[in-house]
């Protein structure tokens, strides 16, 4: 499965990383890579971080975070 990290804010969508991961068993977690990314200067006080699993939208996650300019 391919997993992508997507950042969204200020009407922008940035795919910052994508990696392959094996399919896990139900109710288990698989450790992914550590992602380090310098955030752009957005005109927003919030950003959304999404983990998107290709062809498996039921596995996607979404987090809204405060963003300080």
Handedness of CA 1, 64, 36, 44 (dihedral sign): positive
Please list, in sequence order, all residues whose beta carbon lies within 8 angstroms of the beta carbon of residue 23, skipping any fewer than 6 positions away: 1
* 12-43: pLDDT as tens digits: 999 999 999 998 888 888 888 999 999 999 99
Complete edge-to-edge strand list for the sheet that includes strand 12-20 = 12-20, 2-9, 46-53, 61-66
Q: E strands along 1-69, which residues?
A: 2-9, 12-20, 46-53, 61-66
Q: For residues 6-13, give the mean pLDDT.
A: 96
Two structure tokens written together for 57: 């939208």
pTM of the model: 0.85
What pLDDT score does 26 carry? 83
């Amino acid at each position: 499965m391919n997993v992508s990290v997507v950042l969204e804010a200020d009407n922008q969508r940035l795919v910052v990383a994508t990696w392959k991961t094996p399919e896990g068993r139900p109710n288990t977690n698989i450790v992914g890579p550590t992602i380090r990314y310098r955030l752009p200067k957005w005109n927003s006080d919030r950003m959304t971080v999404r983990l998107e699993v290709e062809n498996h939208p039921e596995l996607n996650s979404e987090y809204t975070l405060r963003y300080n300019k």
